[in-house]
Homo-oligomer: A and B are copies of this chain.
Amino acid sequence: MSDIKIVQTGSVTSPIGFSAGGVFAGIKTQGEGKLDIGLIYSDRPCDTAGTFSQNSVISPSVTVTKGLVESGRTIRGVIANSGCANCAVGEYGLKDAEEMAAIAADKLGVNSDEVAVASTGVIGVELPMALIRDHVPQITLKEDGGDEFANAILTTDTRTKHIAASFNVGGSTVTIGGVSKGAGMIHPNMATMLAFITTDAEVENAFMRQSLREVVQLTFNQIDIDGDQSTNDTVLLMANGAAGNPTIAGGDEASEEFKQALFVVARHLAREIARDGEGARTLIEAKVEGAESHEDARKAARSIASSLLVKTAIYGRDPNWGRILMALGKSQINLEEPKIRVFINDIQIVAEGKAIAYNVQSVVSALGQDEVRLRVELNVGEGRGTAWGCDLTEEYVVFNSAYTT
Contact = CB atoms under 8 A, between A and B. Distances in A.
A136 to B, nearest CB: 25
A56 B333 contact: yes
A397 interface: yes
A397 B404 contact: no
A328 interface: yes
Contacts of A56: 328-335
A312 B354 contact: no
A171 to B, nearest CB: 47
Nearest to A226: B308
A394 interface: yes
Contacts of A187: 330
A54 interface: yes
A400 B231 contact: no
A30 interface: no
A19 interface: no
Q: Give the interface SS of chain A, mostly helix, strand, loop or mixed.
A: loop
A354 to B, nearest CB: 4
A326 to B, nearest CB: 6
A85 B405 contact: no
A88 B353 contact: yes
A360 interface: yes
B188 A323 contact: yes
Given A56-B332, A228-B309, A397-B394, A316 B354 contact: no
A218 interface: no
A230 interface: yes
Contacts of A185: 308-309, 326
Contacts of A355: 88, 124
A247 interface: no
A227 interface: yes
A70 interface: no
Copies per complex of this chain = 2
Contacts of A309: 184-185, 188-189, 191, 226, 228, 400
A229 interface: yes
Given A191-B326, A331-B56, A332-B56, A397 B392 contact: yes
Contacts of A354: 88-90, 124
Contact of A337 (B88, B191, B323): B88
Contact of A58 (B87, B125, B306, B329): B329
A94 to B, nearest CB: 11
Given A90-B354, A124-B325, A393 B397 contact: yes
A187 B87 CA distance: 29
Interface in A222-269: 226-231
A252 to B, nearest CB: 38
A57 B122 contact: no
Contact of A90 (B322, B333, B352): B352
A392 B404 CA distance: 16
Interface in A388-405: 392-394, 396-398, 400-405
B322 A88 contact: yes
A330 B187 CA distance: 10
Interface of A: 54-58, 85, 87-91, 122-125, 184-185, 187-189, 191, 226-231, 306-309, 312-313, 315-323, 325-335, 337-338, 350, 352-355, 360, 364, 392-394, 396-398, 400-405
28 contacts: A55-B329, A55-B330, A55-B332, A56-B332, A56-B335, A57-B328, A57-B337, A89-B354, A90-B353, A124-B355, A187-B330, A188-B320, A227-B307, A228-B309, A229-B326, A229-B330, A230-B326, A308-B400, A313-B401, A316-B400, A318-B402, A318-B404, A319-B405, A320-B405, A392-B397, A394-B394, A396-B397, A397-B397
